[in-house]
Structure formats: C-alpha cells, structure tokens
Amino acid sequence: MDLDPGLAALRPLGGFFVLRTGARTAQEPYGPLPTLAQAYGGWPEDVRPDPLAFRVRKVATALRVPETRVAASVAHQGLAARLWSVALACAVLYGHVPDLDGRLLHWDPDGSAPDDLWLSGVRPLPGDAATVAATVLHGHLEPLAAALRARYRLASGLLRGNAASALAGAARELDGWARRHGRADAAARARSLTAALLGHPLLEGAGTLTGTAFRRRSCCLYYRVPHAGVCGDCCFPRPPRSSPRAASG
C-alpha cells in the first residue's frame, strides 16, 4: 500500500504512532518550530531557547526531578519512542516508511507527551529493516545521543538501552493492536522487523527480546524520579541504592 499524504493508517493506533504532515499555518507559542536536525546541533547560537535544553528542562519540571541527567534520559526515550513508533508502524502497515530526514521533521519542544512531531512532506522509502535503521538510528538517534552525551554526560550504554527499549515498546504496542484487529500478518511483520533491528550493531547487546517482552541490560535512571520505581523492562528488579552512575553504563 502506498503512503498517503496524511499517513491515515496510523491514526487508529493513536498516541505515539500518529504523525502530523503537510503545511502548517498555526503560530506556535514557542515560536517557529525547530527541525530535529536543528535540535541535535544546528540551532543558531543567537536564537534562544535552545530546543533540546528547553525540552529537558520541561521534563525536569514536570517530573519534579532535580537531576538534569534523569530528565535528559527520559526526554531521550520519549523522542526515541515517537520515532520508532512512526517508522515501525509505517513499515508494517504500508510496506514503506516516510523520509524522516531531520530537516523535514519539525518538533515542538514545549508540547506534552508524546512528543509533538510534524513532517513537512511525505516521501516514501522502502520498508525493510535496513532502511528503518538508517532512518531512525543513523538519521536521528545517533546525533541525538551525541548531543545528550556532550551536554548531559549520559553514558552510551544508557542511551543504547533507551533506544532498544523504545523500539521494543513500540513493537509491543503495534503487535497488540494488530492482534486485537485480526491482523496476524501485521503482528508477525512487526516482530520480524523488531528482531532484525535489535540485532543492528548500534543496538546489539542492549537487552533480550523474548516474544514481545524485552529486558534491557542498562537502567534509564527513571527510578530516581521522586516516588518512582523501576520500569517494567529494567535490568534491576527493584530500585538500586547505589550511585546513579552505576546504573547508567
């Protein structure tokens, strides 16, 4: 099935899967929406606020967490989940993915969760695992991770675990939707693509996938949010008492 300009097949999935497309006329309170390419490092130095720093501060305020590293990790995983959800669902339901070039994909850092993304034009690409990896991993998660490592000293293992966890979570949601709607073909395709993507060198070793259940080998630090526990796929069975740096590798 060809990609349609509005990516209508994603709408029934809701939440993290829906992607707004086409012309945008409304003025945003934040100002002109930055592209993700700008957020990763191309934002003009004389323009404030910086979109990535703005988002991390917003997450820190919402979670009431004093540690910026924790907010940066949560922000990273939220954006990774959006990117994986869109790409994976399009690959499964359409057999193609839209070109999610960071210069075409706009982001509202002041939006609520899930992250508000807008694609300025829909250009189809193949829906195979290699293209999905190139689109999401190389096109977005590598430059995003580099920016977060430089600014917030997040460990590479933590960021790799976040990326793998976000992929597994998107696949689990897509698999559940497909099964509820009698789409065994879509569920099988989602599982196959996810297994292939988790075997990519940038994600390999980040965790273990059993069916649709994933167990990561690192911790995202969410347990350090006040009154929070560990995530369902965390490497820890209970919140650790050790230094947070021990959980970030």
Average pLDDT, rounded, for the chain = 91
| 125, 91 contact by CB (below 8 A) | no
Decide if pLDDT at 143 tops 60.
yes
Instruction: Give the Cα separation of 237 and 158 in Å (integer).
Output: 17
Instruction: Give the Cα separation of 230 and 154 in Å (integer).
Output: 18
Give the residue-averaged pLDDT of 120-127: 95
Report the candidate in 37, 216, 162 with the shortest Cα–Cα distance to residue 154: 162
Decide if pLDDT at 25 tops 60.
no
Tokens linked to 155: 């460990």
Give the residue-averaged pLDDT of 114-119: 95
Decide if pLDDT at 43 tops 80.
no
Decide if pLDDT at 243 tops 60.
no
Tokens linked to 242: 């050790």
223 DSSP 8-state letter = G
Q: According to the model, what pLDDT value does residue 240 have?
A: 80
Give the residue-averaged pLDDT of 217-227: 92
Decide if pLDDT at 247 tops 50.
no
Decide if pLDDT at 248 tops 50.
no
Q: How large is the C-alpha radius of gyration of the chain?
A: 17
Regarding pTM above 0.85, the answer is yes
Max mean pLDDT range (80-84, 211-215, 236-240): 80-84
What confidence tens digit (pLDDT) does each residue in 155-214 have?
A: 999 999 999 999 999 999 999 999 999 999 999 999 999 999 999 999 999 999 999 999
Report the candidate in 164, 26, 48, 168 with the shortest Cα–Cα distance to residue 106: 26
Report the candidate in 146, 247, 163, 151 with the shortest Cα–Cα distance to residue 205: 163
Tokens linked to 150: 């430089």
Decide if pLDDT at 55 tops 80.
yes
Give the residue-averaged pLDDT of 80-104: 97
